């Protein structure tokens, strides 16, 4: 966006236009040089040595043209216009310097085409010369259009003009310099937006001190390392936001330090700007490939250094915030999953996460346990609510621990009743044993807890084994539950049990009779079932191994 009211200086406009001219002229100039090289190769291959001198002159002129176009954006080599120099003289000089090599190319090319026209076997040579001369003519027209610094009268006329024409080029350059504010004096040492902790690694004490003072004036906290090994030790002892790394050091090269940093998971995210006197493209490419964020050649421009540091720090802080957000998201996800696991069995959670929406299973032969406190209704009328909830919380939490210990699935609590089952998952054939062990442990645990409770509790339990239907119901506050006659019988056995006793059905007895002590109970009548055979579980047989 063009800054309102901003008028760029003539020098900035000239340099912007020169950069645009360089960009527009480079491609056709390279094409001419390419044709010249092809012509030389073809003449050599086809035995037309008589054309070589003229072709080499064309090639030399094309290289001269490319060099001059390249120099347009070089501060040290660009033809700059002095404050008192007339702009028309300046454009005339530019046009002359650009047209001189192209006129040489056209002149030698046209003469060579005439000479080659009557030579046998030079048809291909003439054809390539025609292409070269066409490119040269187009480039001449482009030069005349580009090297004009006048703006079009209106935006509309600029839009309708041919791209590359002089007024359009001037408009492009004007838009650019008007949209980019110039760098003010002293900006190199202005206070940084993101004051950070920076490590400067350089074996030259003067360089280290200069960088330290400059960075501290910008508000950064700076530490100095005189060699590569020292920098690695400091990085492992304290956190840093950025490293300015010299490349040539006596003990270990900056490139090796960079490789070590990027292979260390604890250090690889620290951005690194390499600052070196080595300015060849190989060093720059290898450092960027090794993980450096940027590369600056010595002597560095302070303004450019500040801009590079600011950019690297901003990216680093953005990555830090992104990482923090991801870590927070992972923590929340773990909490959510843990909450889900507190509500549903782990295998059911896995199925829901995999996309299964309807969970309804028929499960053969599981064992169900119901437990209920005797006289709890009367106790609840005597205890204050917080104390009552505290009692249930302590007891049920202890039972939950036993469920985890014996690998039993807690189904739910219903008031002061507690329900678990085993054999729903993993095809366990010891489901009745696990429930029996847990029932005995529940009785022992309650006896222990009673010493610390405001009123002692008694529990009665019922166990039954058989087939059930299991599934998840509800759209919200959903629950995993089991249904079937086996569940109803277990509930009835609990409600018809006696305080402190564990009453089991015949089917459960069949599972347990070899390893547990079971005594028959006579005369049991179950509502809806009639007379029913039942047993009291009193303990494990001596020597019976856990399954």
What are the tens digits of pLDDT across the range 433-455? 999 999 999 999 999 999 888 88
Q: What is the pLDDT of residue 2?
A: 46
Q: What is the pLDDT of residue 543?
A: 74
Q: What are the boundaries of each domain within the chain?
A: 12-77+96-146, 194-321, 346-540
DSSP letters along 187-214, please? Answer: GGGSPPSS--EEEEE-S-HHHHHHHHHH
Query: Which segment, 88-97, 162-171, 327-336, is predicted with the most confidence on average?
Result: 327-336
pTM, rounded to two decimals: 0.52
Q: What is the pLDDT of residue 12?
A: 64
Is the model's pLDDT at 235 over the cut of 90? Answer: yes
Tell me if 126 sits within 8 A of 113, measured CB to CB.
yes
pLDDT tier for residue 1 given thresholds of 50, 70 and 90: very low
Three-class HEC string of 40-53: HHHHHHCCCHHHHH
Is the model's pLDDT at 459 over the cut of 80? Answer: yes
Q: Which residue has the higher pLDDT, 149 or 205?
A: 205
* Residue 244 bridge partners (DSSP): 200, 273
> Which one, of 440, 379, 438, lies nearest residue 407 by Cα?
438
Q: Which residue has the higher pLDDT, 459 or 477?
A: 459
Q: Which two tokens stand for residue 524?
A: 């049991």
Whole-number Å distance between alpha carbons of 283 and 244: 16
* pLDDT 10s digits, 38-55: 888 888 888 888 888 888
Residues whose CB falls within 8 Å of the CB of residue 164, separated by 6 or more in sequence, listed in order: 24, 142, 145, 146
Whole-number Å distance between alpha carbons of 380 and 375: 9
CATH class of 346-540: alpha beta
pLDDT tier for residue 299 given thresholds of 50, 70 and 90: confident
Tell me if 38 sits within 8 A of 128, measured CB to CB.
yes
Whole-number Å distance between alpha carbons of 498 and 351: 40
Is the model's pLDDT at 308 over the cut of 60? Answer: yes
Q: What is the pLDDT of residue 218?
A: 86
**Which segment of 3-7, 413-417, 440-444, 473-477 scores lowest on mean pLDDT?**
3-7
* pLDDT 10s digits, 116-146: 887 877 788 888 888 888 888 888 877 776 6
The yes-or-no answer to whether 12-77+96-146 and 194-321 have a common fold is no
Superfamily of domain 12-77+96-146: Alpha-catenin/vinculin-like (1.20.120.230)
Whole-number Å distance between alpha carbons of 12 and 15: 5
Q: Which two tokens stand for residue 46?
A: 């086809």
Q: What is the pLDDT of residue 380?
A: 85
**Which segment of 94-108, 310-324, 461-475 scores lowest on mean pLDDT?**
94-108
Q: Which residue has the higher pLDDT, 487 or 131?
A: 487
Q: Which residue has the higher pLDDT, 8 or 235?
A: 235
Supply the DSSP symbol for 524: -
Q: Which two tokens stand for residue 275?
A: 């600052």
Is the model's pLDDT at 467 over the cut of 90? Answer: yes
pLDDT tier for residue 305 given thresholds of 50, 70 and 90: confident
Whole-number Å distance between alpha carbons of 209 and 224: 8
> Which one, of 67, 134, 78, lies nearest residue 105 by Cα?
134
In percent, the amount of the chain with pLDDT more than 70 equals 84
Alpha helices by DSSP H, listed for 344-384, are 346-353, 376-382
* pLDDT 10s digits, 514-542: 999 999 998 888 888 888 999 999 999 98
Superfamily of domain 194-321: Response regulator (3.40.50.2300)
pLDDT tier for residue 233 given thresholds of 50, 70 and 90: very high
* pLDDT 10s digits, 248-298: 888 888 889 999 999 999 999 899 999 887 767 777 888 888 899 988 877
> Which one, of 138, 165, 132, lies nearest residue 61 by Cα?
132
* pLDDT 10s digits, 162-176: 555 555 555 665 665
Whole-number Å distance between alpha carbons of 343 and 337: 10
């Amino acid at each position: 966006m063009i800054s309102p009211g901003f008028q760029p200086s003539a020098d900035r406009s000239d340099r912007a236009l020169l950069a645009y001219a360089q960009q527009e002229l480079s491609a056709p100039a390279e094409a001419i040089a390419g044709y010249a090289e092809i012509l030389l190769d073809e003449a050599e291959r086809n035995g037309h040595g008589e054309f070589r001198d003229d072709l080499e002159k064309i090639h030399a002129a094309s290289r001269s043209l490319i060099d001059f176009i390249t120099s347009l954006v070089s501060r040290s080599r660009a033809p700059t216009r002095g404050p008192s120099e007339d702009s028309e003289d300046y454009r005339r000089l530019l046009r002359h310097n650009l047209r001189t090599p192209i006129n040489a190319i056209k002149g030698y090319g046209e003469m060579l085409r005439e000479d080659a026209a009557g030579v046998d076997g030079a048809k291909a040579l003439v054809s390539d010369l025609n292409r070269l001369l066409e490119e040269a003519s187009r480039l001449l027209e482009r030069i005349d259009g580009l090297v004009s610094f006048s703006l079009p009268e209106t935006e509309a006329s600029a839009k309708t003009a041919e791209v590359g024409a002089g007024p359009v080029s001037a408009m492009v350059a004007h838009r650019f310099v008007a949209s980019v504010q110039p760098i003010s004096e002293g900006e190199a040492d202005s206070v940084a937006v993101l004051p950070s902790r920076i490590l400067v690694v350089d074996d030259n004490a003067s360089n280290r001190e200069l960088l330290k003072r400059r960075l501290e004036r910008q508000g950064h906290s700076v530490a100095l390392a005189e060699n590569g090994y020292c920098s690695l030790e400091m990085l492992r002892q304290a956190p840093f936001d950025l490293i300015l790394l010299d490349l040539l050091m006596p003990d270990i090269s900056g490139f090796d330090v960079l490789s070590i940093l990027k292979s260390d998971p604890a250090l690889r995210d620290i951005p690194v700007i390499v600052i070196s006197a080595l300015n060849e493209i190989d060093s720059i490419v290898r450092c960027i490939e090794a993980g450096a964020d940027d590369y600056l050649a010595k002597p560095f421009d302070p303004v450019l250094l500040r801009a590079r540091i600011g950019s690297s720090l901003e990216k680093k802080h953005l990555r830090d915030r992104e990482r923090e957000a991801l870590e927070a998201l992972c923590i929340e996800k773990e909490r959510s999953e843990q909450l889900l696991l507190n509500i549903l069995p782990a295998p059911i959670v896995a199925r829901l996460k995999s996309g299964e929406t309807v969970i309804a299973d028929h499960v053969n032969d599981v064992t169900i346990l119901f437990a209920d406190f005797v006289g709890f209704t009367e106790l609840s009328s005597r205890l204050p609510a917080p104390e009552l909830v505290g009692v249930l919380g302590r007891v049920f939490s202890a039972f939950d621990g036993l469920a985890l210990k014996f690998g039993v699935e807690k189904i739910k609590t219903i008031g002061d009743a507690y329900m678990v089952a085993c054999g729903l998952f993993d095809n366990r054939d010891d489901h009745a044993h696990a429930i029996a062990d847990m029932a005995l442990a529940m009785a022992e645990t309650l006896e222990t807890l009673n010493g610390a409770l405001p009123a002692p509790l008694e529990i009665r339990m019922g166990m039954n084994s058989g087939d059930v239907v299991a599934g998840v119901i509800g759209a919200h506050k959903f629950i995993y539950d089991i249904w079937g006659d086996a569940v109803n019988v277990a509930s009835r056995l609990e409600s018809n049990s006696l305080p402190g006793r564990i009453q089991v059905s015949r089917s459960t007895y069949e599972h347990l009779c070899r390893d547990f002590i079971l005594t028959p109970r006579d005369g049991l009548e179950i509502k809806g079932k009639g007379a029913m055979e039942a047993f009291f579980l009193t303990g494990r047989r001596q020597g019976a191994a856990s399954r």
